[in-house]
Structure 1
Amino acid sequence: MNEASILITLATVHFVALMSPGPDFALVVQNATRYGRQTGTYIALGLSLGILIHATLSITGVSYIVHQQPVLFALLQAAGGSYLLYLGSGALVATWRLWGTPPAPIANDNSMMLENKRLAFSRGLITNLLNPKALVFFVSLMSSLVPVGMSFSGKGAALAILWGLSFAWFALLAWLLTRTAMQQRLRKISRYIDLLCGAVFTLLGAAILYQVVLNVMDHAL
């Protein structure tokens, strides 16, 4: 298989994975719906940078080393599960407290938007970086599709494709969710979106932490 075929296959597999529901998808939906297009775009930028970092570490073999070290991988899983649980429980508590109030309008204050940009970017980045499933996915993807002998330019093109597709998809999702007509509809059900996203984060975080506990118990026996 030549490098062009490898890059096309890589792009196809990655794009299918991007469209699959998960914490990255839920994070964009929740934040774009509540805080608007600009915040959603900065979430997309943070997520895509996290994907680029994962892909770079995988293509250089660093992630494979981490994956093969039970203690390091367990720590990553624990950190990722705890962070998702933190996001989920926070969303659930906030939704519960504001359940009886009307949906708040999207803020246009410049200072608040600046704060939201920084928070959105860092939240997107951390959510992706601490997702142990992302590490496993990219280790599998890179080891199976990107040969060791691939040229430096080919590997660079692979990283650019992964980042570009990721940012384009999540930014497009944020744009679609914040079109005027769509925004008016979504604001009416924003509390249910927050509730669903909070439940997704909580369940994923709890499942990851449960898996960590099981792995620790298995190694202890």
Structure 2
Amino acid sequence: MQNYWVEFVTIATVHLFAVASPGPDFAVVLKHSVSFGRRAAMITSIGIGLGILVHVTYSLLGIGLLIKTTPWLFQLFSYLAAGYLVYLGLGALRSRPQHAGGTGGVESEVVINDAISDRRAFWIGLLTNGLNPKATLFFLTLFAVVISAQTPNSVKVIYGLYLAFATGLWFCALSYFLSSQKVRGFIREQGFWFDRIMGLVLIGLALKLVISGI
């Protein structure tokens, strides 16, 4: 049992550094926090957290080993992820200045939140993480190096549930901070320009995936 605790602490520490580093998940949560408000960002964060279970599942099924030993398959996976990031980025680049009909803060908040449905926010979060090659590499390394082959699958599932919960909690906390009135007010003064910048960031991440895979 002591070995499992050592594994868990190692996993939790490595995961903390991995989830805190900027990437597609961070970019999407940042965009949704500022553009659509706290509710949309929180739901997106939950989707990102559950996206972790996608990586846990294929790692437990041994598909992770197949991806690791089949370069063209991982490259295809990277291209799919790049295509999805370009899709999100182009959508952000088409952002236009908003002309709110009312002047009240509450009414403006309603208009912003209505700009994206809960279902769409959730699926964007889920797909952004589920198709993130950075997360794929993290879990391939995790299951190949950190977690012992002798560790029972039941314990690995517990590890995976923790990682999903911790990831969702991290991005929910980030969403809460980024969607505060002061932060949003600071960024949203030129909100559509911010959207376009985030679009360029997402497309830049997509190009980085493609170039690194060549």
Distance apart, 1:7 and its partner CA = 0.4
Length-normalised TM-score, structure 1:
0.84
Partners of 2:25 and 2:48 within 8 A in 1: yes
Please name the residue that 2:103 is paired with: none
Give, in whole Å, the separation in 2 of the partners of 1:71 and 1:40: 34
After superposition, where does 1:65-214 map in structure 2 within 5 Å?
A: 65-94=66-95, 98=96, 101=97, 106-108=108-110, 112=114, 116-212=117-213, 214=214
Q: Mark the runs of 5 or more structure 2 residues left unpaired by the alignment.
A: 101-106
Residue 51 (structure 2) aligns with: 50
The separation in 2 between residues aligned to 1:77 and 1:134, in whole angstroms, is 11
How far, CA to CA, are the matches of 2:180 and 2:78 in structure 1? 36
Verify: 1:7 aligned to 2:5, yes or no: no
Quote the Cα distance in structure 2 between the aligned partners of 1:143 and 1:175: 35
Structure 1 contact 46–122 (Cα < 8 Å) conserved: yes
Q: 1:15 to 1:189 in 2, by over 3 A?
A: farther
Partner of 1:35: 36
Q: 1:74 to 1:63 in 2, by over 3 A?
A: same
Runs of 4+ in 1 over 4 A off after TM superposition: 102-107
Shift of 1:21: 0.5
What is the deviation of 1:106? 4.9
TM-score, L = length of structure 2: 0.86
Q: Secondary structure at the match of 1:149?
A: coil
Give the Cα separation in 2 of the matches to 1:152 and 1:59: 7
Provide the alpha-carbon RMSD of the alignment.
2.3
Tell me the SS of whatever aligns to 2:114: helix
Structure 1 residue 103: Cα displacement: 6.9
* Gap regions ≥5 residues in structure 1: 215-221
